[in-house]
């Protein structure tokens, strides 16, 4: 993916922005359907993943993310999605999908934590505002670092609109908004510093698919370990080792093919571990979501029963399927790596790392 310093004030939604937009709309429709009302009811929002003051005490850490996909009204989701498209397009176009998602979800989590710790009494919140504020914060950071050519009027208009909305919507959670925008700026500045120091730390510039794959693996491992601090630290160390291993692999002839193979193996192992930890037949537990379409629930229940009756075979099938599917999805990169007899791809990755300074 090529990144342009100069981006328009409006960019057509890219991959992550479009995906977040679609998921938010689908989730809002589902909460409406479950509520049977003109707007999602507080009870449905709470059961669907809203963040509230007791979430951390009950170790419901998943709410730190899920609340950002829930919205309280049609106006709420329309304003948030408009801002997501307006701000998300330029940022994702500038820094790429993987860094965009990292900034977005870091801002979502920071907004939830800020909201909890800045409210003394009962706290209940939903909405993508913290993540979207983080996107605006990242754009502002890039502007202050002189790494993006958006006009100053872009920020004057958007920050001005936020101030106006603050007066018109007194129930707006500005603690979450502030936490999101600060996190967006901080993560963006950290990524920029990493990219500046990149040539001293890394040999090669990673393609987007590698960064996305590693990010997904880290999140899945964190989820499988219930976000345990010790397990997450171990996963972080493993991630750092994997990043450096891939960096070395990419710098040699046919290294791209080896990298695809390593990602396929990592995906398969994590998928196999997820199967072992969740199947009822392996002391795990799978709960089907409420209000599933009856035929879908029936099919899923039957598949779970079959897999639980032979967990070892089911795990082996998952390992093989995920390994093969990963290589199929990454076939263009695998083919490019296998045909790289002269090491041209490796030379390109090294040159890109040496050429780039910052985001």
Q: Can you give the residue ranges of every domain in the chain? A: 1-199, 202-359
Query: Please, how many CA atoms are within 13 Å of residue 239, restricted to the half-sphere of its CB?
Result: 19
Which range is least confidently modeled, 200-204, 265-269, 327-331? 200-204
Global pTM? 0.84
Dihedral sign computed on CA atoms, order 322, 324, 326, 328: negative
> What pLDDT was estimated at residue 78?
92
- What's the rounded mean pLDDT across residues 113-134? 87
286: alpha, beta or left? (left if phi > 0; alpha if psi -120 to 50): beta
For the cut 80, the answer to whether the pLDDT of residue 226 exceeds it is no
Instruction: Give 3-state DSSP helix, strand, coil % of the chain, rounded to 5.
Output: 70, 0, 25
CATH architecture of residue range(s) 1-199: Up-down Bundle (1.20)
Answer yes or no: are the C-beta atoms of 177 and 134 closer than 8 Å.
Answer: no
Residue 292 pLDDT exceeds 70: no
Percentage of the chain lying above the pLDDT 90 cut: 38
């Amino acid at each position: 993916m090529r990144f342009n310093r100069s981006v328009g004030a409006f960019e057509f939604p890219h991959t992550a922005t479009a995906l977040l937009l679609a998921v938010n709309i689908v989730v809002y429709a589902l909460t409406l359907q479950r509520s049977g009302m003109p707007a999602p009811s507080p009870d449905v929002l709470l059961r669907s993943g809203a963040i509230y003051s007791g979430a951390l005490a009950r170790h419901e850490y998943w709410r730190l993310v899920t609340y950002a996909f829930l919205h309280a009204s049609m106006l709420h989701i329309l304003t948030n999605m408009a801002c997501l498209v307006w701000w998300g397009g330029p940022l994702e176009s500038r820094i790429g999908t993987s860094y965009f998602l990292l900034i977005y979800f870091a801002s979502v989590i920071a907004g939830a934590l800020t909201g909890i710790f800045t409210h003394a009494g009962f706290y209940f919140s939903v909405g993508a505002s913290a993540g979207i504020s983080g996107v605006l914060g990242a754009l502002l950071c890039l502007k202050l670092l002189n790494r993006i050519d958006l006009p100053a009027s872009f920020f004057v208009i958007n920050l001005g609109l936020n101030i106006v909305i603050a007066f018109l919507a007194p129930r707006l959670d500005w603690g979450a908004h502030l936490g999101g925008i600060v996190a967006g700026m901080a993560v963006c500045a950290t990524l920029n510093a990493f990219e500046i120091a990149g040539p001293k730390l890394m040999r090669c510039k990673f393609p987007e698919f590698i960064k996305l794959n590693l990010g997904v693996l880290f999140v899945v491992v964190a989820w499988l370990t219930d976000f345990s601090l010790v397990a997450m630290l171990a996963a972080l160390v493993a991630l750092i080792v994997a990043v450096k291993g891939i960096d070395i692999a990419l710098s040699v002839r046919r290294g791209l093919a080896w990298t695809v193979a390593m990602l396929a193996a990592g995906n398969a192992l994590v998928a196999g571990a997820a199967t072992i930890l969740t199947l009822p037949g392996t002391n795990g537990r799978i709960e089907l979501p409420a209000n599933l379409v009856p035929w879908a629930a029936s099919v899923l229940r039957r598949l779970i029963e079959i897999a639980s009756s032979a967990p070892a075979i089911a795990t082996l099938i998952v390992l093989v399927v995920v390994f093969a599917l990963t290589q199929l999805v990454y076939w263009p990169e695998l083919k490019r790596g296998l045909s790289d007899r002269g090491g041209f791809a490796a030379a390109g990755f090294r040159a890109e790392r040496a050429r780039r300074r910052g985001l």
